[in-house]
Amino acid sequence: MNWLFPRAVAGVMLVLAGAAAGYVAGLALKSPLLLGLLGALASAAVLILLDTLRGHRLLHWLRGNQQGTAPRDAGLWGELGYRIERALRKREQQVAQEQTRLTQFLSAIEASPNGVMMLDPEDHIQWCNRVAAEHFGLDPQRDLQQRVTNLVRAPAFVAYLQGGGSKGSIQFLGARGDVMLSVTVREYGEGMKLVLSQDITERERADRMRRDFVANVSHEIRTPLTVLAGFIETLTNLPLTEVERKRVLSLMAQQTERMQTLVSDLLTLARLEGGPRPPTDVWCDAGQLMAQMEQDAHNLSRGRHRLSFRIEQPSRLAGVESEYFSALSNLVSNAIRYTPEGGSIEVVWRVRPDGSGEFVVKDTGIGIDKEHLPRLAERFYRVDGSRSRETGGTGLGLSIVKHVMQRHGGELDMRSEPGKGSEFRLIVPALRVSVGGAIGGGVKAPAAPAASA
């Protein structure tokens, strides 16, 4: 407002000066009042013209792209130009900030592991991230503004979208047919829709595995329980001779043992899954493992097989001794159970050229068809269910072995030929093998083997 008073005074002074000049000139022409009035009018006209020029300059700047500064006039027009320019710059700054925020927001959604797609009220695609494009088989640029139902034709999706996503979420196969999607639609703004998609293939697989596992466990437990219930009924209702009673009790003991083995294997699996990673600085002796194994194998085979146990290089292994033993014991017990009488079983420990080590369990048993090998370590997978059960198998042995080896960073290798025999290898990584005090590639191991966990 500091321009208001000087401007008013200057305006009045200029008009008065014009009037005075006109008046003085009018004295000579004998018409001072008329010329005085004309002088005042001429001054006012000059003022108006000046204002018009300044206003025009400002308007010209405003009509353009407002680059550079606004016309810097003095007084009213100067202040007007300055204030308009300042307001404009402030707005531009705000817009730039909003733009940055929007870009950051969109990049955050872009980085989301889930698919996000925005639709207008007519279901035209406004924006979608890369994951949504992959899930629905879209091109994030080319397909913008396209009606989504023209591009994603899965009937479940189309019906769900038309229903406004009212029933929670739906599941259907993604565009490439290899992923299972869970899709949720939420309305926002004025009829806009947010489509969220999630790849639930892995979750579905885990759920299915869990369901199968529970069904398998229930089945495995129900069979001996049914047998036991039958025997209890027999014992209760029938007058049995002493010989019959003993026979029934022995069969009952067999079934109970079967359940105990199953529960024990299940607990072992649960422990392996939840347990901490095996230590790399606790050592056990491969020779001791083999000696203990040899004794158990003789007890199990009871002279029906030729058994051979051999250590090629005395070594120590880092990890959990009981787990190594459990893995080896499962392989040896399988070899005995699936090798007919008179067959031979050979168990060897050796260190391989790359510093890793292996227990090799080789038998001349019934062998396994190639097609079964990839699934053999799955829980409850059996090639011949009745043979496995007859010999006290639970179908969990090899999955325990596989778990143990994976936990120790090693692997389980299987080769077999039907009718000829099988060869199973427990491969222990170099880091966990110590020969004569040197670990795998030659790193020194602790001097004394510590007791196993």
Contact 115, 198 (CB under 8 A): yes
- Is the CB of 321 or the CB of 363 nearer to ligand ADP? 363
Which DSSP state fits 69? P
Smallest distance from ligand ADP to CB 150, Å: 51
Q: Which two tokens stand for residue 409?
A: 């960073």
Considering only 43, 197, 394, 452, the residue that binds ligand ADP (CB under 6 A) is 394
Q: Coil, strand or helix: which one is 259? A: helix
Question: Which of the stretches 110-118, 140-148, 243-251, 387-395 binds ligand ADP when contact is defined by CB under 6 A?
Answer: 387-395
Residue 388 binds to ligand ADP (criterion: CB under 6 A): yes
Smallest distance from ligand ADP to CB 288, Å: 24
Other beta carbons within 10 angstroms of residue 92's beta carbon come to: 11
- Is the CB of 38 or the CB of 328 nearer to ligand ADP? 328
Bin 102: left if φ > 0, else alpha if -120 < ψ < 50, else beta.
Answer: alpha
Which residues are CB-neighbours of 122 under 8 A, at least 6 positions away? 147
Check the CA dihedral 46-48-51-56 and report its sign: negative
Residue 398 binds to ligand ADP (criterion: CB under 6 A): yes
Smallest distance from ligand ADP to CB 344, Å: 12
Contact 431, 369 (CB under 8 A): no
Considering only 40, 125, 293, 376, the residue that binds ligand ADP (CB under 6 A) is 376
To the nearest 10 degrees (0 to 180), the angle between helices 321-337 and 286-301 is: 30
- Is the CB of 199 or the CB of 220 nearer to ligand ADP? 220
Residue 61 binds to ligand ADP (criterion: CB under 6 A): no
Smallest distance from ligand ADP to CB 317, Å: 22
Residue 343 binds to ligand ADP (criterion: CB under 6 A): no
Total residues in contact with ligand ADP, by rule CB under 6 A: 23
- Is the CB of 84 or the CB of 269 nearer to ligand ADP? 269
Question: Which of the stretches 45-53, 82-90, 106-114, 392-400 binds ligand ADP when contact is defined by CB under 6 A?
Answer: 392-400
- Strands across the sheet containing 125-128: 125-128, 115-119, 192-199, 180-188, 169-173
Smallest distance from ligand ADP to CB 212, Å: 15
Question: Which of the stretches 118-126, 279-287, 388-396, 431-439 binds ligand ADP when contact is defined by CB under 6 A?
Answer: 388-396
- Positions in 302-331 near ligand ADP (CB under 6 A): 330
- Is the CB of 135 or the CB of 402 nearer to ligand ADP? 402
Residue 395 binds to ligand ADP (criterion: CB under 6 A): yes
Q: Coil, strand or helix: which one is 361? A: strand
Considering only 98, 212, 384, 390, the residue that binds ligand ADP (CB under 6 A) is 384
- Which residue type occupies 279? P
Contact 291, 365 (CB under 8 A): no
Smallest distance from ligand ADP to CB 211, Å: 20
- 230, 220, 229: which is closest to 263 by C-alpha? 220
Task: Please give the Cα distance from 385 to 421 (Å, whole number).
Answer: 19
Smallest distance from ligand ADP to CB 408, Å: 18
- Which residue type occupies 195? V
Question: Which of the stretches 78-86, 130-138, 313-321, 390-398 binds ligand ADP when contact is defined by CB under 6 A?
Answer: 390-398
Residue 429 binds to ligand ADP (criterion: CB under 6 A): no
Considering only 198, 268, 326, 334, the residue that binds ligand ADP (CB under 6 A) is 334
Q: How many helices, marked H, and strands, marked E, lie in the chain?
A: 12, 15
- Is the CB of 202 or the CB of 212 nearer to ligand ADP? 212
Task: Please give the Cα distance from 434 to 446 (Å, whole number).
Answer: 9
Could you please report the per-residue DSSP string of 176-238?
Answer: TSSSEEEEEEEEETTTEEEEEEEE-HHHHHHHHHHHHHHHHHHHHHHHHHHHHHHHHHHHHHS
Binding mask 346-375 for ligand ADP (x = CB under 6 A): -----------------x-xxxx-------
- Positions in 119-158 near ligand ADP (CB under 6 A): none
Considering only 36, 165, 355, 393, the residue that binds ligand ADP (CB under 6 A) is 393
- Is the CB of 122 or the CB of 341 nearer to ligand ADP? 341
- Is the CB of 54 or the CB of 362 nearer to ligand ADP? 362
Give start and end residues of each alpha helix (H) in 279-360.
Answer: 286-301, 321-337
Task: Please give the Cα distance from 44 to 139 (Å, whole number).
Answer: 67
Question: Could you list the residues that contact ligand ADP (CB under 6 A)?
Answer: 330, 334-335, 338, 363, 365-368, 376, 381-384, 388, 393-399, 422
